[in-house]
A and B are shown apart, each in its own frame.
Chain A
Amino acid sequence: MEFLLIGQPNCGKSTIFNEVIGYKSIASNFPGVTVTYTKGEIILHNGKFNIIDLPGTYSLVPSDDAEKATITYLYSKYNEDNVIINICDASVLSRSLELTLQLMELQKPMILVLNMIDEAKRKGININTEKLSDLLGIPVITSIGREGVGIYEIFDTAYKLSKEKKVPKIIEGPADVEKIINQVENRLENIDLQFNKRFAAIKLIEKDEIFVKLIDDKLAETEMSDINSMIKKLESIPNKDSSFIISSVRHNMSFNIFEKVAIVNRNVKRDIRDLIDNILLHPILGHLFLILILYLSFQIVFWFGGLIEPFFGDFFEIIGNYLQTNFKHNPLIYHSLNGLVQGVGGGIMIVIPYLFPFFIILSLLEDTGYLARVAYMVDNIMHKIGLHGTSIFPMIMGYGCTVPGILATRILKSDRDKFITATLTTLVPCSARLTVILGLVGFYISGQAAILIYILNIVIIGITGKFLSKVMPEVSPGLILEIPKYHLPSIKSLLSKTWFRLKDFVYMAWPLLIIGSIIMEIISYYKWDNTINAILKPLTVQLLGLPVAVGTVLLFGIMRKELALIMLFSALGTNKIAQVMTTTQIMTFTMFVTFYIPCLATIGALSRELKWKKAGIVMLLTFSLAIIISFMTRIFYSLF
């Protein structure tokens, strides 16, 4: 038995999920092919129930991959015993009801949860829940997710409903539309579909691509053409597309229901949060605050990382020394163990000092509602590189770890935007590259030079974006984004979001990092590095003017970029880099590491999100870019 949590984005669905699952069992995440949903377990009246937290969706006709995943899951579980828990933000009830009406069409047991009911009251909206429940024929429950109010009632009602199996009322539309729905429904009468016939009829009329594909093989050509001519008849009168007619019917229905059940008091006090936006979204002041807020966020991460990283560094050095003294006589075991320790240690030294604080701050910006405003503020700048404001999310996340950054491109609506954003996100220096930039350039040259690399990086990202959008021109739908109300975030939600994103690194990147380090150590044991260095000589020595020993460093930097620094030390046999490399060489090397082929885990994420072919293009592109840029760096520095 499953309880499916479905709702529009920002309705507080995940807060409710965490509230229930948080302490009763550990929420486990299973990465699907295209998207992740969260599953948890609760015990109610001595029975075990699974709760599935599906990605937020505005409607059952999807407009991006995350929404598609929700709908596909919903359809795949259609014939199983489950209860739909439709959660909506009560303060935007009228709009939310459109999804509710679509879910009701499924004719499965469901309940409607009016979440954030306090927010609705503050806005002066009073909802008569009994009347709403009567009109829809489903239980309606009010809740305040963040305070835990009404949570038990939601699942208790879902439990009762799972026994009763009562399905929602059928709410009929205007007569002319109903007539066509009935005709199509009758035409489907003798066909064995796994779905409710009326629901199937509506979906066919609506020309819902996902649904049509699902039942395509069940319909013969004659049936399809009959149904199509019925749809044509519907379209002929108002001369509008049938998908549009159906959605207009729902739009009007929701509005009418809202009018019947809600009393809106228009004379509520002006919300103080509007005043915050007068500053933060001010055309000029807003941009200044944006720069300030982002700058401070990064400063906090750097400060925290710099504070605790040495502690871990010392710790793993002690272990390294211990291995060296105790396994002197068995070099193969020593090298393998050393690789393992470096892999584990390297991961810890990224996760705890940098990724953890970065994702906490990012979640804080997201949960308060500021991140959506960032998208609004930068939309015009992003237009210059052919993208929209929404593309800023994955790119900002890329400063933490590229893997969750790439996965975040799912929120984008067009494949082209996804591709360009994913490419640009791989160019953003992640926290692993940060350690190289700080440890090499910051330490041996100067802090300003390190900042220069970051600025240069932004410029190059801009040029690449401009280039890609010229090569792939497309009229994309443009920015449409909900600007949520400011909220005080809950610690629980911050931590669970941070963990959710860290998991991408922990499960995808870290294992590769450990394997990579072990392989590298074994290679150095068998002394294969000389061969690799010789093969890469034309690139490293002749083109970029780097020491021959960096060949292996660069090759294995693909496994884990932050290791490039440690490996450079071991390849050159010293950690006094300034004695063996010139400023030009340090800059060239760092530029190359910053831009060239992303790490293995990123390649994995790219191929998952974009498929292999496009992932290959991204790799080729970043590699060529790295060669050009580092070559230019070499020329530039040797001129002075």
Chain B
Amino acid sequence: MQKLLVECEPGSKVKIVNINAGLKARKNLQNFGIQFGDIVKIKRKNIMKGPMIVESNGSEIAIGYGLAQKIIVEEE
């Protein structure tokens, strides 16, 4: 089932299906090794529209709320 990254709960593993963000944001995500088809694990979420931390290829990346709203994922 497809949903937004921002809706995922800590502990779940998801596959990135699409990134509906601008070129710049997509490039930034790429720099951290996050692209279509990658599988990431949600580690933590902050309150009050705060960022979330996902684990990708062994490193932990914090992603802002706004950006996480634009990333479409599929539950593994």
Verify if A304 is at the interface (C-beta below 8 Å from B).
no
Assuming A243-B23, A477-B25, is B58 touching A379 (CB within 8 A)?
Answer: no
Contacts of B66 in A (CB 8 A): 478
Q: What separation, in Å, do the CA atoms of A379 and B65 have in the docked complex?
A: 9
Q: Is the CB of A477 within 8 A of B24?
A: yes
* Interchain nearest-CB distance for A403 vs B (Å): 28
Asked if A154 CB lies within 8 Å of chain B CBs, one says: no
CA distance A378 to B70 in the complex (A): 21
For the complex, give the distance between the alpha carbons of A283 and B57 in Å.
Answer: 25
Choose one: A123, A247, A481; the contact of B58 (CB below 8 Å).
A123
Cβ-neighbour of B61 out of A284, A375, A413, A482 (below 8 A): A482
Task: Write the chain B residue with the least CB distance to A414.
Answer: B24
* With A58-B31, A479-B63, A480-B64 as contacts: A383 and B23 at CB distance below 8 Å: no
How many chain B residues sit at the interface, stated as a range, is 35 or more
- Let me know if A483 is at the binding interface, CB within 8 A: yes
Contact among B44, B49, B56 for A383, CB-based, below 8 A = B49
**A379, B46: Cβ atoms closer than 8 Å:** yes
Q: For B57, what are the chain A residues with a Cβ–Cβ distance below 8 Å?
A: 92, 94-95
Interface residue A126 (Cβ < 8 Å from any Cβ of B): no
- Once A95-B57, A477-B22 are accepted as A-B contacts, the answer to whether A376 and B46 lie under 8 Å apart by CB is yes
The reply to whether A248 and B35 form a contact with Cβ atoms under 8 Å apart is yes
Which residues of B in the span 22-43 have a Cβ within 8 Å of any Cβ on A?
Answer: 22-33, 35-36
B33 and A98 contacting across the interface, CB-CB below 8 Å = yes
Residues of B within 8 A of A98 (CB): 33
Residues of B close to A95: CB separation below 8 A: 32-33, 56-59
CA distance A167 to B67 in the complex (A): 40
Contacting pair A480 B50 (CB below 8 A):
no
Q: Measured between alpha carbons, how far is A247 from B50 in the docked complex, in Å?
A: 29
Q: Are the CB atoms of B29 and A480 closer together than 8 Å?
A: yes
In the assembled complex, the CB of B59 is this many whole angstroms from the nearest CB of chain A, namely 4
Flag A73-108 by CB within 8 Å of B: 1 or 0 each.
Answer: 000000000000000000111110010000000000
CB proximity of B53 to chain A, nearest CB, Å: 6
| Residues on the A chain within 8 Å of B26, using CB | 244
- The reply to whether B35 and A478 contact each other, CB–CB distance below 8 Å, is no
Query: Quick check: is B1 within 8 A (CB to CB) of the other chain?
Result: no
Given contacts A379-B50, A380-B49, contact A483 B31 (CB under 8 A): no
Residue on B nearest A247 in the bound complex, by CB: B30
* Residue numbers in A under 8 Å from B46 (CB-CB): 281, 283, 376-377, 379-380
Contacts of A58 in B (CB 8 A): 31-32
Contact B30 A251 (CB under 8 A): yes
Contact A480 B62 (CB under 8 A): yes
> Do residues A91 and B58 form an inter-chain contact, with CB atoms below 8 A?
yes
Nearest B residue (CB) for A274: B43
Q: B47, A283: Cβ atoms under 8 Å?
A: yes
CB distance from A570 to the nearest CB of B (A): 50
Q: Which residue of A lies closest to B50 (CB)?
A: A380
A492 CB, nearest partner CB in chain B, Å: 25
> Measured between C-beta atoms, what is the minimum distance from A370 to chain B in Å?
13
Contact A251 B58 (CB under 8 A): no
**In this assembly, does A337 line the interface, its C-beta being within 8 Å of a C-beta of chain B?**
no
Most interface-central of A92, A95, A388 (chain B CB within 10 A): A95
A304-B49 Cα distance, complex, nearest whole Å: 38
In the complex, which residues 434-488 of chain A have their Cβ closer than 8 Å to any Cβ of chain B? 475, 477-483
Other-chain contact of A281, B27, B35, B44 (Cβ < 8 Å)? B44
B49 touches A376 (CB 8 A): no
Q: How far is the CA of A94 from the CA of B34 in the complex (A)?
A: 11
Chain B residues with Cβ under 8 A from A59's Cβ? 27, 30-31
Chain A minimum-CB-distance residue to B67: A478
Q: How far is the CA of A565 from the CA of B56 in the complex (A)?
A: 53
Q: Are A477 and B51 in contact (CB under 8 A)?
A: no
User: Looking across the interface, which residue of chain A has its beta carbon closest to that of B48?
Assistant: A380
Known A-B contacts A248-B35, A251-B33; A479 and B44 likewise in contact (beta carbons under 8 Å): no
- Cβ of A241: which chain B residues have Cβ within 8 Å of it? 23
Cβ–Cβ contact A63 & B63, under 8 A: no
Compute how far the CA of A481 lies from the CA of B54 in the bound complex, rounded to whole angstroms: 11
Contacts A94-B33, A376-B51 known; list 7 others, CB within 8 Å: A59-B30, A91-B58, A379-B46, A379-B50, A379-B65, A479-B62, A480-B28
A–B Cβ pairs within 8 angstroms, 29 of them? A59-B30, A91-B59, A92-B59, A93-B58, A94-B58, A95-B59, A243-B23, A244-B26, A247-B27, A283-B50, A376-B46, A376-B62, A377-B50, A379-B51, A380-B51, A380-B65, A383-B65, A477-B21, A477-B67, A478-B21, A478-B67, A479-B62, A479-B64, A480-B25, A480-B28, A480-B29, A480-B61, A480-B62, A481-B61
* A-B complex: 8 closest residue pairs judged by Cβ atoms: A479-B64, A58-B31, A95-B33, A478-B64, A478-B67, A380-B50, A477-B25, A483-B60
Measured CB to CB, the residues of A under 8 A from B are: 58-59, 61, 63, 91-95, 98, 123, 125, 241, 243-244, 247-248, 251, 277, 281, 283-284, 372, 375-377, 379-380, 383, 388-389, 413, 475, 477-483
